[in-house]
Amino acid sequence: MAATIKDIAKLAHVSIATVSRILSDRTESHTEETIARVRKAAKELAYQKNTAAIELVTKKSNVVAVIVSATPTNFSNQIIDGIQKKAAKHHLAVIILYAGENNTELQRKALQTVAERSVMGILLLAINLSPANLKFLTKSTIPFVFLALSFQDKTIPFIASDDFQIAYQATNFLISKGHRKIGLAAADFHISYTGYRRLAGYQKAMQEHQLQLVPDWVQDGNYSYQSGRRAIQAYMKNTQVTAVIANSDLAAMGVANQALDFGLSIPNDLSIISIDGTDFCTMFRPQLTSMTQSFYEMGSQGIDCLLNRKLSTAAQRFTAVSIQERESVKNI
């Protein structure tokens, strides 16, 4: 079977303690000759260290767990990319677990899995934890940070965009283009803090410009493609809206396609600004103007945060958002 340090010790005629030291690069006080002999033996036996044993004795782990939702978002890849790159720099291994979409059971299972493995930290990508699961997490002593999701609670660490600002700026942008009747589509305004804040940002901008707030212009959803379609289906009874803020790129595509299906032209009949700014914005026609979030940065900072955390500081950070003008918003 797999070789152990004991085998190496035997082959190299040294003690296991010596092997242990040398293989973990604690070579300060060892003969060049011994070191070489041990290394050679290790290679010969194709030695693979047993992480379970190491973690058992050191009570440490160098893997960070990323929990992602199977949600219809597509920015996860960018975040994971950021996580991956930064983690590699610090010699951390990263494992990813799926937790379904608002599935308490699956969330619990994922949390359980990582807790049993005593990972060094947990990154939660756009995961809306149930209260019970959140409590489980906070009690677990494992450092964690939420990514791409913000909280009102000051004790929960997160790295995300300022959702109020996103919607506020998007609305102002549309207003600056001459729009007065602006829809807000496909977010869970009454469920998540994210949705709540975006609604607030939108309302603030509208009010600051003495613009009418029509309830029907705000269409609930879950950031999905279908949510986007449904928003336009609802607007149809009320074609006054000249521009809509879609709460995800996927939703924006749904909005656009349903509008197209209704015979509307974009952006001539309807302007769209999308929130996220992933690659799909340029792959769709017309190319989607977007409020672009710094997903890569979120992932990268997530690792930093885990590394620096002394188990007490609850860091809450906002990453930059910027507006990318493409083809889906028209000056009217």
Partner DNA sequence: CTGTTAGCGCGTTCAA
Partner DNA sequence: TTGAACGCGCTAACAG
Sign of the Cα torsion 231, 233, 238, 242 reads positive
Work out how close the CB of 99 gets to a second copy at its nearest, in angstroms, rounded to a whole number: 10
**Which partner in a second copy, DNA, none is near 240 (CB below 5 to 8 A by kind)?**
none
Contacts of 292 (CB under 8 A, 6+ apart): 276, 277, 321, 322, 323, 324
Tally helices (H) and strands (E) across the chain.
13, 12
C-alpha–C-alpha distance, residues 62 and 65, integer Å:
10
Tokens found for residue 301? 């900072």
**Which partner in DNA, a second copy, none is near 260 (CB below 5 to 8 A by kind)?**
a second copy
First vs last C-alpha separation in the chain: 73
C-alpha–C-alpha distance, residues 194 and 196, integer Å:
5
**Which partner in DNA, a second copy, none is near 159 (CB below 5 to 8 A by kind)?**
none
48 near a second copy (CB under 8 A) = yes
| Nearest residue (CB) to DNA, 62 versus 165 | 62
C-alpha–C-alpha distance, residues 110 and 276, integer Å:
26
36 near DNA (CB under 7 A) = no
Max distance between CA atoms of the chain, in angstroms, equals 85
**Which partner in DNA, a second copy, none is near 154 (CB below 5 to 8 A by kind)?**
none
56 near a second copy (CB under 8 A) = yes
| Nearest residue (CB) to a second copy, 26 versus 285 | 285
DSSP 273: E
Work out how close the CB of 74 gets to a second copy at its nearest, in angstroms, rounded to a whole number: 8
Stretch that binds DNA, among 12-20, 88-96, 223-231, 269-277 (CB under 7 A): 12-20
| Nearest residue (CB) to a second copy, 65 versus 167 | 65
Environment class of 136 (CB within 10 Å of its CB; exposed 0-12, middle 13-18, buried 19+)? middle
Contact 66, 94 (CB under 8 A): yes
Q: Which amino acid is at 147?
A: L
113 near a second copy (CB under 8 A) = yes
| Nearest residue (CB) to a second copy, 147 versus 174 | 147
Q: Contact positions toward a second copy, by CB under 8 A?
A: 2, 46, 48-53, 55-56, 63, 70, 74, 77, 80-81, 84, 88, 93-98, 106, 109, 113, 115-118, 139-141, 225, 250, 253-254, 257, 260, 279, 283-285
Q: Contact positions toward DNA, by CB under 7 A?
A: 1-2, 4-6, 13-18, 20-21, 23-24, 26, 28-31, 33-34, 47, 49-50, 53-54, 56-59
